[in-house]
Amino acid sequence: MAYWLMKSEPSDVSVDDLAAMPDATVGWYGVRNYQARNFMRDQMRPGDGVLFYHSSCAEPGVVGLAEVVGAPYPDPLQFEAGHKYFDPKSTLEVPRWYQVDVRLVRKTRLLALAEIRQHPDLQEMRLLARGNRLSITPVMPGEWWVINALLGTE
């Protein structure tokens, strides 16, 4: 089992939006960074834990726990001409972009980025790395357990 932090802008898909979706599940669409794509395509597996993180908002941070519930598959939006996630170089035979289905396990209190930054056991977390802008990052098992303890969910 692996652990991941996956960022979503609440104006696109918030934790409340996810909770309201059928089976509280969403295909994690629109990733257009090769490193983040490779994490989904090559490393994520059903059962992996996810820290659901709100980004690009007034107070970014972890707002829920989720899990990967399906194998990676091509992001269908790459094939929709006119869509903002359309990729004219991607084909059905050789897709460029992938997604996984993510199911909400539970909504949590906001564990703000500022609080994460202050915790000594989280200083090496990839989220905090200088210049990191990836929407998907791996989370070490120790970091997963520290965050769960901070959230009171362990």
> Residue type at 127?
L
Helix (H, G, I), strand (E, B) or coil at 36: helix
Mean pLDDT of 81-98: 96
- pLDDT tens string 3-13: 999 999 999 99
Q: What residue ranges do the domains of the chain occupy?
A: 3-151
Mean pLDDT of 41-66: 97
Global pTM? Answer: 0.95
Helix (H, G, I), strand (E, B) or coil at 121: helix
CATH of the domain spanning 3-151, picked from 3.90.1300.10, 3.10.590.10, 3.40.50.300, 1.10.10.10: 3.10.590.10
CA 36 from chain center: how many Å? 9
Question: Quick one: DSSP state of residue 22?
Answer: G
